[in-house]
Chains A and B, each alone.
Chain A
Amino acid sequence: MSLLEVKNLRVTFDTETGRVEAVRGVSFSLGHERLGIVGESGSGKTMTGRSVLRLVRPPGRIEADAMTFDGQDILHASEREMRALRGKRIGMVMQDPKYSLNPVMTVGRQLTEGLRLRDGLGRADATAKAIAALEAVQIRDPARVMEAYPHELSGGMGQRVMIAMMLIPEPELLIADEPTSALDVTVQAEVLAILDGLVRDRGMGLIFISHDLRLVARFCDRVLVMHKGLVVEEIEAAHLMEAQHPYTRGLLNCLPRIGGPRAPLPVLDRAGF
């Protein structure tokens, strides 16, 4: 049985200026594997991820034929049942860490709060676990970062703090929305290795949302390509670079290459779709 099952998901916003159909019928199932979601800005990647946690704010509306996590109906689950899943069994690394971290609370307090309240750990144990989580995401001076406020972190450090926070409760499903977009390649490789280990050793399911097609091709097992709220192509990650859909090809052609020509980069001909 698959870990997550999503059938015909739709997300709609009724705004003063009319209806926005952010997601228009997305279906997929996820096992203990790495599923990538790629696609243009505004194509509905984030809304698809947030829908799984039912974290779409009004006027946004989620509809689907079915949505199940580990056999449990999460489309009709009560808000209380959803709270029991969020952060604990299903984690989500948000696209913008600066928005998701509390600006007036130290990193240490944000990391240990759950461990102390939810898991009943003592102060020393919680702190030790939090420091270990920071070290795992390659934070070089975890003791200092524990005392720091979010604005005292670099862009990539904020992102890694978010990842550490989501991994501490050992979720069964992790939705990671652009989790490594601010990281240099070597730190990124370490963070991906952690995620990879969790999928392989603990059987975690991973939804990896990213605009970096090369990264997804290398890291994921399977990829959904989204465009205007629809999945336009589903493909083995290893074959992503040979994708046939003109939209996927267009996205691939836009990327600069080391040693490539200095001429203007090809851009997507949006009129074509």
Chain B
Amino acid sequence: MALIEIENLSVTFRAKGQEVRAVRDVSLSVGAQESYGLVGESGSGKSTILRAICGMAPVTGGTIRIGGQPVPTPRGRAFSAQVQMVFQDPYASLHPRHTIDRTLSEPLAIHGIGDRDARVVQALTDVGLPPAFRFRYPHQLSGGQRQRVAIARALMLRPRILLLDEPTSALDASVQAEVLNLLNRLRAEQGLTFLMVSHDLAVIDHMCDRIMVLQHGRTVEEIAHADLAAARMTTAYARSLFEASADRMLDGPVEPAR
């Protein structure tokens, strides 16, 4: 049985009498300890799918199951102990007037978990930050350090599932490499399952076992990791994403499978 099962999910926003059908009839399933990637056009509904899982989008159809159980509405504490999200925008996702210590210990307090000091220090160490950083505020950290704090916060409750929305698109190449290595290490150590959005196919290729390509809120194609590098996609849109990827352009014509 898959850990995350999404069947025929639809999300429709209504604003000023207009309907925006952000997600249309999307189905996917992610096995335990698998890493699954979402790619596709800007505005195609990737962030909305992650938000729908967390109960932060107006779902108008379909079902979402975690570990075989339909997710409850509202999601509640048992859900957030299992599923955590890292948001697209590292600048907006941390409270500007809370110290890192407060940001990291708050989920523990809400869930009545003790031993907070040791857990905060451990979480900072896990993401490669010195323990002294707990006394800092977000504006005293660089973009990459802030994103690592956001990941540390998501890990405080030891969830089984991480939903990652463009975790490195705001980061430079060197910090991106550090964050991706960190995520892969934590996945192996803690047996995590990832559902991850990125517009960078090279990042997705490095991180994910299977990939879904989206356009206009719909599924275009699902691709296994081995088929991505070998250019074995079947739709024109998926192929256009692949061919426009920067590192392919520099290599000239697409090479056959390695």
Contact = CB atoms under 8 A, between A and B. Distances in A.
B250 interface: yes
A65 interface: no
A258 B202 CA distance: 5
A183 interface: yes
A256 B205 CA distance: 8
A157 B142 contact: no
A259 B230 CA distance: 8
Contacts of B172: 39-41, 211, 251
A254 B242 CA distance: 20
A186 B244 contact: yes
Interface string A246-273: 0000111011111110101111100000
A96 B136 CA distance: 22
A101 to B, nearest CB: 13
A265 B177 contact: yes
Interface in B164-184: 166, 169-178, 180-181, 184
Chain B CB within 10 A, most for which of A155, A182, A214: A155
Interface stretch (B10-18, B56-64, B77-85, B104-112): B10-18
Q: Bin chain A's interface residue count.
A: 35 or more
B138 interface: no
A210 B205 CA distance: 22
Interface in A49-105: 96, 98-99
A185 B245 contact: yes
Contacts of A258: 201-202, 205, 228-229, 242, 245, 247-248
Contact of A156 (B42, B171, B185): B42
Chain B CB within 10 A, most for which of A41, A215, A251: A41
Contact of B199 (A39, A185, A255): A185
B229 A218 contact: no
B144 interface: yes
B88 interface: yes
Interface in A213-240: 213-215, 217-218
A245 interface: no
B173 A254 contact: yes
A34 interface: no
Given A41-B142, A152-B15, A211-B171, A182 B202 contact: no
A154 B144 contact: no
Q: Bin chain B's interface residue count.
A: 35 or more
B242 to A, nearest CB: 8
Contacts of B247: 214, 255, 257-258
Contact of B174 (A156, A241, A268): A268
Contact of A184 (B39, B92, B176, B202): B39
A183 B173 contact: no
Interface string B209-231: 00000001000000000001110
Contact of B176 (A39, A218, A254): A254
A189 interface: yes
B20 interface: yes
Interface string B190-204: 000000000101110
Given A212-B246, A258-B228, A267 B181 contact: yes
Contacts of A252: 173
A155 B177 contact: no
Contacts of B245: 185, 258
A27 interface: no
Contacts of A264: 181, 184-185
A160 interface: yes
A118 interface: no
Nearest to B249: A218
Given A41-B171, A152-B15, A156-B43, 15 more contacts: A140-B43, A148-B15, A182-B166, A184-B241, A185-B244, A214-B247, A241-B250, A251-B172, A251-B173, A254-B174, A257-B202, A257-B205, A259-B205, A259-B228, A268-B177
26 contacts: A41-B172, A98-B92, A144-B20, A152-B13, A154-B42, A181-B169, A182-B166, A183-B199, A184-B42, A186-B41, A186-B240, A212-B246, A214-B249, A215-B246, A218-B246, A250-B174, A251-B173, A252-B173, A254-B177, A255-B177, A257-B206, A257-B247, A258-B202, A259-B205, A260-B202, A260-B205
Interface of A: 39-42, 96, 98-99, 140, 144, 147-148, 152-157, 160, 178, 181-189, 211-215, 217-218, 241, 250-252, 254-260, 262, 264-268
6 shortest A-B CB distances, which residue pairs? A156-B42, A259-B229, A211-B172, A256-B206, A268-B174, A214-B246
